[in-house]
Structure 1
Amino acid sequence: MLNEEENQKYEVWLRGPIAGIPALLQPAAHALLQTSEEIKKYTVNICPEQLWLQPHGRASIAFHLQHITGVLDRMITYSKGKSLNESQFEFLRAEGKEDRTITIAHLIEDFDGQLDEALAYFKTLSEDVLKEGRTVGRKKLPSTVIGLLFHSAEHSQRHTGQMLVTASIVKSAQKN
């Protein structure tokens, strides 16, 4: 058994199961926890001026962080068989709109709060529920509980990868 310090050297999926999470949701939980670790790692020393930069027309660091938080919230809502509420639509409309009062710490805190809610929700689910059909959006596109939860995880990893490229570009531009 590895101690905590040794354990942190490995990606989350190599650290073993997360207590209380159904086996079929372990990969999604691992990916979401990996997202949390990576956004903290790759946004070290990002100053407020860099947060909203869009190098080469790409999405800003702030957009990616807002978007992964919002998508996680929306996918959880759909997985519960619910429709989005007005505050979720407002959050969606605000994603990526520059707001200099928002800090990197605030964005990370928002994601981690949503992550905590998601993991707590995962723990309430039985594996039988995961195959149940759900719909997405106003068009009621078909999915399943597990499909929605998996999408929230893979989507967060995709945007984390895009965010780290943007962060490396804005950091290297600052050095030049």
Structure 2
Amino acid sequence: MFMKTQTEVWLRGEKIPGLALQLQPAADALLQAKEELQGLLNGFPDALLWERPAGVASVGFHLKHIAGFLDRLLTYAEGNALTKQQLETLKSEIAVQPLSLKQLLENAVAAIDQTISRYKNFPEAVLTEARKVGRAGLPSTVIGLCFHAAEHTMRHTGQLLVTTAVLKGRS
């Protein structure tokens, strides 16, 4: 089982250059999730990627979903509508695909890194600007979407922790 061996990201005092200070906690949460995912899934067998113990979401789904929703939420934060490709990705997240754990984890880690890079495009002055989300145009703000991206990533990281523990215990 994955064991934490170092100080959590937010307690290290490191700051990302060029990032609005208000977004540093969200970036810290994303970096923490990245570290935990990499440690948690080290040695996890590809054969268990799509297993759904007790009907919960599979490890493969969580990794695909993290990569997908980060891109979608940042698209909204940037004031844009989703593309056809992003909508197709959303529809395909639940589907079992012939991807390895290595590929799925690399995609999720790349999405986390890209999200933090995209955060740098939001100066403090735009963080409270209104944004519309989805077809319904639900109200949010730039900072709200950035924090939701981090929070949702940690939610799925926590779910992955439990799912992998259950699956490893069964094998």
Normalised by the length of structure 1, the TM-score is 0.91
Instruction: Tell me the secondary structure at the aligned position of residue 124 of structure 2.
Output: coil
1:69 deviates by 1.1
Matches within 5 A, 1:119-158: 119-158=116-155
Matched residues, number: 166
Shift in Å, 1:155: 0.3
Q: 1:111 aligns with which of 105, 108, 111?
A: 108
Identity %: 46
1:164 aligns with 2:147: no
Structure 1 residue 47: Cα displacement: 1.0
Q: In the alignment, what sits opposite 1:15? A: 12
Supply the AA of the counterpart residue of 1:68.
I
- Structure 2: distance between partners of 1:85 and 1:27: 28
Aligned to 1:75: 73
Q: CA deviation at 1:74?
A: 0.5
Q: How far did 1:96 drift?
A: 2.3
1:66 corresponding residue in structure 2: 64
Letter in 2 for 1:49: A
Partner residue in 2 for 1:35: 33
For residues 126-162 of structure 1, give each alpha carbon's deviation from its aligned partner in whole angstroms, at most 9, with x where no partner exists.
Answer: 1110000000000000000000000000000001000
Q: What is the distance in 2 between the residues matched to 1:48 and 1:117?
A: 25
DSSP 3-state at the match of 2:127 = helix
Could you tell me how far 1:116 is from its partner in structure 2? 2.1
Q: Secondary structure at the match of 1:125?
A: coil
AA in 1 matched with 2:39: K
1:55-92 deviation per Cα after TM superposition (whole angstroms, max 9, x unaligned): 00000001111111111100100001111001111111
Q: Post-superposition shift, 1:22? A: 1.1
In the TM superposition, residue 125 of structure 1 has moved relative to its aligned partner by: 1.7
Cα distance, 1:112 vs structure 2:
1.9
Q: Partner of 2:139: helix, strand, or coil?
A: strand
- The answer to which of 55-64 and 116-125 deviates more is 116-125
In the TM superposition, what is the alpha-carbon distance from 1:21 to its structure 2 partner?
1.5
Cα deviation, residue 107, structure 1: 1.1
Structure 2 unaligned residues grouped into runs of 5+: none
Listed as ranges, the gaps of 5+ residues in structure 1 are 1-7
CA distance in 1, matches of 2:142, 2:23: 10
In structure 2, give the amino acid aligned to 1:62: G
CA shift, 1:20, in A, is: 2.1
Conserved in 1, the CA contact under 8 Å of 2:19 and 2:123?
Answer: no
CA root-mean-square deviation: 1.1
Match of 2:87 in 1: 89
